[in-house]
């Protein structure tokens, strides 16, 4: 993130956190700040976007390594390196070189760090999509932003497979200015702040780093009058609904990537991807153990003692009869073969587990019968 925000701080984790710890924290925050759960809080959408952007980097091992390398060098510690950052201009010569009329250590705007490439290239490759488009001046079509979203999936849809609708909020090209940020009839001129480069250089001492120009937002050009609809950004937030196919046997944490379903590309570039992370909800009847389904069925004392038959619904809604033999104890399981979860050519079983319920109160006749049974069993009161 080129604005100085610390991704670790955004997610509330330390730089030494494991990948699993970062993923767990991301899921917790994504669920907490999801716009659908905070419809009365307009700031939740921005917070959710910030959290997703942070996880997009820290959740990817390669991007995280690049980010950590840059972070150690101070590239995300504010405007430049350290506190008193100063504006620096690009000049030839690179690190430690001097030219005519120059003295002291050489100043540069791009350099190679341990084989990870130049700073300008690194910012662009790390933060890709809509964010990366602002780091350097656009040179052609650019892929749109990839969006990652946590989606709650009902247990039975996750087990059997199906579709769930997902409402997304993405950046779309402004329909008024068609993405150039200009008001109707306005002219597009090179940005005077960055001389049309789209970036400005900040640094201190021998180090400098490119940052997107705050005036033209990395475009290298500005309109004589900004579009009133998007305020010159060229983008507008839009909400759209996408039906997501959930594969049978999906579990919490599993992902699907939908190509071209993310943010709109710039300058005719292809759309970004949509990465869906599933969060499988609990079910009131079924539990899961691998590919097996566990269904808890209550029976009364008489059924457990004398034996009985009970009906149980399978995952596809059909009913199967289970014979409960006399003398069944609580916790005993009965297997219905092949009625579990099917995945990768394998299919589990349905395990029916019985619990014995005790009535809160008895009628006079029931109490009399129970006492006679107890006395016949040798019990004393």
Q: What is the pLDDT, as a whole number, of residue 79?
A: 34
Q: Which residue reads 């790390």 in tokens?
A: 126
- pLDDT recorded at residue 311: 95
CA-CA distance, 94 to 106, in Å (whole number)?
A: 6
123 has a pLDDT exceeding 60:
no
CA distance 250 to 146: 22
What is the C-alpha separation between 93 and 197, in angstroms, rounded?
A: 20
Residue 35 pLDDT grade (very low, low, confident, very high; cuts 50, 70, 90)? confident
Per-residue pLDDT tens over the stretch 194-228: 888 888 776 544 455 667 777 787 778 889 999 98
Tell whether 89 is in a known binding site.
no
Question: What whole-number percentage of the chain has pLDDT above 70?
Answer: 76
216 marked as binding residue: yes
By mean pLDDT, which of 65-74, 121-130, 215-224 is the weakest?
121-130
Establish whether 194 is an annotated binding residue: yes
50 marked ligand binding residue: no
Provide the pairing of β-strand 308-313 with 319-324.
Answer: antiparallel
pLDDT tens digits along 132-182: 434 444 445 667 778 888 999 999 999 999 999 988 777 777 888 888 889
Q: Cα dist. 136→66, 162, 171, 189, 216 in Å?
A: 18, 42, 19, 17, 11
Are 81 and 74 within 8 A, CB to CB?
yes
User: What pLDDT was estimated at residue 247?
Assistant: 94
Tell me the HSE value of 209 on the side-chain side, using a 13 A CA sphere. Answer: 26
Number of Cβ within a 10 Å radius of residue 136: 19
Judge whether 163 is annotated as a binding position: no
Return the minimum-mean-pLDDT range out of 145-149, 160-164, 317-321, 323-327: 145-149
Q: What average pLDDT does this structure show over 189-194?
A: 88
Q: What pLDDT is recorded for position 379?
A: 73
pLDDT of residue 284: 94
pLDDT (0 to 100) of residue 76:
52
Res 96: pLDDT: 37
Question: For the ranges 38-52, 117-131, 319-333, 334-348, which has the lowest average pLDDT?
Answer: 117-131
Poorest-confidence range of 145-149, 289-293, 336-340? Answer: 145-149
Q: From CA 256, how far away is CA 250, in angstroms rounded?
A: 10
Mean predicted confidence (pLDDT) in 64-84: 59
131, pLDDT greater than 50:
no
Q: What is the residue-averaged pLDDT of the chain?
A: 78
Top pLDDT among 15 and 95 is at: 15
DSSP string of 191-202? -TTTTTSSEEEE
Q: What pLDDT, in 10s, does the model give residues 233-270?
A: 787 877 888 889 999 999 999 999 988 877 766 556 77
The secondary structure element, H or E, covering residue 155 is: helix 155-160
- Distance from C-alpha of 322 to C-alpha of 351, rounded to nearest angstrom: 11
Query: Is residue 330 a known part of a binding site?
Result: no
DSSP state at residue 98: -
Q: What is the pLDDT of residue 122?
A: 45
Q: Is residue 88 within a helix (H) or strand (E), and if so which, with residue range?
A: none
Greater model confidence, 181 or 110: 181
Question: When comparing pLDDT for 51 and 120, which is higher?
Answer: 51
User: Does 281 score more than 80 pLDDT?
Assistant: yes
Domains defined for the chain, CATH in brackets: 7-280 (1.10.287.110), 286-376 (2.60.260.20)
pLDDT band at 347 (very low <50, low <70, confident <90, very high): very high
Cα 33 from Cα 128, distance rounded (Å):
24
Span 281-297, average pLDDT: 96
- Read off the tokens for 199: 């970036």
Tell me if 335 is assigned to a ligand binding site: no
Contact between residue 334 and residue 321 where contact means Cβ atoms under 8 Å apart? no
The mean pLDDT of 41-59, rounded to a whole number, is: 84
Q: Which residue would you say has higher pLDDT here, 282 or 126?
A: 282
Q: Has 54 been labeled as part of a binding site? A: no
């Amino acid at each position: 993130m080129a604005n100085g925000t610390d991704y670790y701080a955004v997610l509330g984790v330390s730089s030494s956190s494991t990948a699993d710890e970062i993923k767990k924290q991301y899921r917790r925050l994504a669920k907490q700040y999801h716009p659908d759960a905070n419809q009365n809080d307009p700031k939740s959408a921005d917070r959710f976007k910030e959290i997703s952007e942070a996880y997009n980097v820290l959740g990817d091992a390669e991007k995280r390594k690049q980010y950590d390398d840059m972070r150690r060098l101070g590239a995300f510690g504010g405007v430049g390196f350290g506190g008193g950052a100063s504006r620096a201009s690009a000049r030839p010569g690179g690190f430690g070189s001097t030219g005519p009329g120059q003295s002291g250590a050489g100043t540069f705007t791009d350099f190679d760090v341990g084989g990870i490439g130049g700073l300008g290239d690194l910012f662009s490759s790390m933060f890709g999509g809509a964010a990366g488009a602002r780091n350097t001046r656009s040179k052609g079509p650019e892929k749109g932003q990839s969006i990652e979203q946590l989606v709650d999936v009902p247990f039975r849809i996750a087990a059997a497979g199906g579709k769930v609708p997902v409402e997304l909020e993405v950046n779309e090209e402004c329909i008024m200015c068609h993405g150039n940020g200009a008001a109707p009839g306005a002219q597009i001129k090179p940005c005077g702040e960055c001389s049309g480069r789209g970036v400005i250089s900040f640094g201190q001492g021998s180090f400098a780093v490119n940052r997107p120009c705050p005036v033209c937002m990395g475009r290298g050009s500005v309109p004589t009058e900004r579009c009133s609809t998007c305020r010159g950004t060229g983008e507008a937030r839009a909400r759209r609904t996408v039906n997501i196919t959930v594969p049978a046997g999906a579990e919490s944490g599993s992902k699907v990537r939908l190509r071209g379903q993310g943010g709109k590309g710039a300058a005719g570039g292809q759309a970004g991807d949509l990465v869906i992370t599933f969060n499988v909800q609990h079910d009131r009847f079924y539990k899961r153990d691998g590919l097996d389904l566990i269904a808890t069925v209550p029976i009364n004392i008489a059924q457990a003692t004398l034996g009985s038959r009970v009906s149980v619904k399978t995952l596809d809604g059909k009913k199967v009869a289970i014979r409960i033999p006399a003398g069944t104890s609580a916790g005993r399981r009965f297997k219905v073969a092949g009625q579990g979860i099917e995945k990768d050519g394998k299919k589990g079983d349905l395990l029916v587990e019985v619990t014995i319920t005790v009535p809160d109160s008895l009628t006079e006749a029931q109490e009399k019968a129970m006492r006679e049974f107890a006395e016949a069993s040798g019990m004393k009161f």
